[in-house]
Amino acid sequence: MFNLLSKKGPAAFFLLFLAHSCFSQGYAIHLTLKPFAHSQVYLGYHYGKIKAVADSITLDGNAEGDFKGKEKLPEGVYFIVSPKKEILFELLIGRQQQFSVAADTARLPQSIAFTGSSENQSFQEYTSFMNSHGREIFTLQSQLSQTKSRKDSADIEQKMSRINGAVKTYRDQLEKKDPGSLLSTLLLMLKDPVVPAAPVSANGKPDAGFAYRYYKDHYWDNVSFTDDRLIRTPVFEPKLDRYFKDLVSPVPDSINREIDHMLLYSRTNKEMFKYLLIHFVQKYINPEYMGQDAVFVHIFEKYINTGQADFFTEKYRKFVNDRAYSLMANLIGQPAPELTMTDTSGKTVSLYNVKADYILICFWDPTCSHCKETVPKVDSIYQAKWKNEGLKVVGVMVDGGKDNWTKFIRDHNLGDWINVYQTTAQHDAEASAGHPDYRQLYDVYQTPILYLLDKDKRIIAKKLTYQQLDEVLNLKLKKVNP
């Protein structure tokens, strides 16, 4: 089994436990795929955004071959892959797993024909129907953007409405044709809630927030978090991502409530629980927005560290554990870890002895090209603005050597900074005492990294650019001096 996208890192872990999934009664799919005589082709499947291979065969001289196995394949959306690793077309692996499919790649998708699989016949008809009507809608939208006549616009909109109505009717008929089938389940998942008219509030006006609340409350009406077929489709993960992006407040408490709710409902389906847990770990272990690493810490403490992720490999578990313990110490709003280091004169300096309304900690390396560019700019805004706003800069040398460090400080006039580094003796003393290294405590895995603290040494912001930190500081000062 391999990943068609050749991804590396944590995402590759998705495939490690798939090999243990239950595939009873077997599958037998006869394939005729012209013109690939004597060529190796593949049967692939979706797993969230991952694409993986379930089986491979070498076609004979008539470009025919059989995908077969003693165990049934997990149901989902699969696809046929060419010898060049190109996805040619999709098919459904549902309850019917003994059927034939023939296609000529010179005439796709028109040449695709299924025998013995009514569900795939319906799926192909649906795909053809949607492609045809999609092209019509696209053409009408193009005409609508160009017309200047109100009457013509109304006529085009009426045509589009008729097409959308026909699509809805066709989908509804397919859903009712075979309830519970994979195709019916897919179509239901694609449905968006239809929001009714907003009720009138006490002030006589429509409730402005009704549409959002209704849409959010009914977003998952047609989706079961105990149906693991959904994770082997290309539509479930985008729907999941859209929900968290558009409908859930980006603050950790709101995200945590939604995650807990989904994981609670998925507990009775081990595959769905695995998928969701790993999806959320990967989404929030290095989050898009500052502060959302608290979501990952919540997941770690509530699910992983309590033994509910026994499907993790040893390597992946170590990776997750290391990240969790690095992030626990520097969450937004928490006190910053103590830094006891040595300055350029050899004097020991404690972070908690630095008195200022705000403190910027800059972890940097005098030999790092990005640091060489960024550190002078940080000093410029410090001299021009931040110093007068009660901020002090603590510069921590991470690597690069003491001589390079002191030379850079002199050459760029960083004398107003509190410049410190950790001596070998200080590092060894911490290690001997069993204390974590400052790199772990501050999650310093690259340079430069900036932290903004308040006067009580609580973390206000972290890992932002100096321009973004300036915006944060402006907001803080505005609150203090409105």
Integer Cα distance of 365 and 382 in angstroms: 19
Q: What's the pLDDT at 12? A: 42
Question: What residue has token string 């025998």?
Answer: 115
Q: What's the pLDDT at 466? A: 93
Angle at 202 between CA 200 and CA 205, to 5 degrees: 45
- Consecutive sets of 10 residues in the chain, 482 residues long: mean pLDDT of each? 40 41 73 97 95 96 96 96 96 94 94 94 89 87 86 88 87 86 93 91 86 96 96 96 96 97 96 97 93 96 96 94 92 95 95 96 96 96 95 95 94 95 93 91 94 96 94 86 65
Domain 9-116 superfamily per CATH: Carboxypeptidase-like, regulatory domain (2.60.40.1120)
Write a three-state SS string for the chain: CCECCCCCHHHHHHHCCHHHCCCCCCEEEEEEEECCCCCEEEEEEEECCEEEEEEEEECCCCCEEEEEECCCCCCEEEEEECCCCCEEEEEEECCCCEEEEEEEHHHCCCCCEEECCHHHHHHHHHHHHHHHHHHHHHHHHHHHHHCCCHHHHHHHHHHHHHHHHHHHHHHHHHHHHCCCCHHHHHHHHHCCCCCCCCCECCCCCECCCHHHHHHHHCCCCCCCCCCHHHHHCCCHHHHHHHHHHHCCCCCHHHHHHHHHHHHHHHCCCHHHHHHHHHHHHHHHCCCCCCCCHHHHHHHHHHHHCCCCCCCCCHHHHHHHHHHHHHHHCCCCCCECCCCEEEECCCCEEEHHHCCCCEEEEEEECCCCHHHHHHHHHHHHHHHHCHHHHCEEEEEEECCCCHHHHHHHHHHCCCCCCEEEECCHHHHHHHHHCCCCCHHHHCCCCCCCEEEEEECCCEEEEECCCHHHHHHHHHHHHHHHCC
What CATH fold (topology level) applies to the domain 340-480? Glutaredoxin (3.40.30)
Q: Domain ranges in the chain?
A: 9-116, 123-190, 222-328, 340-480
Single pTM value for the model: 0.83
Integer Cα distance of 102 and 145 in angstroms: 41
List Cα–Cα distances, 54 to 23, 38, 47, 73, 152, in angstroms: 10, 20, 11, 8, 51
Q: What's the pLDDT at 4? A: 47
Handedness of CA 366, 369, 372, 377 (dihedral sign): negative
Q: What's the pLDDT at 101? A: 97
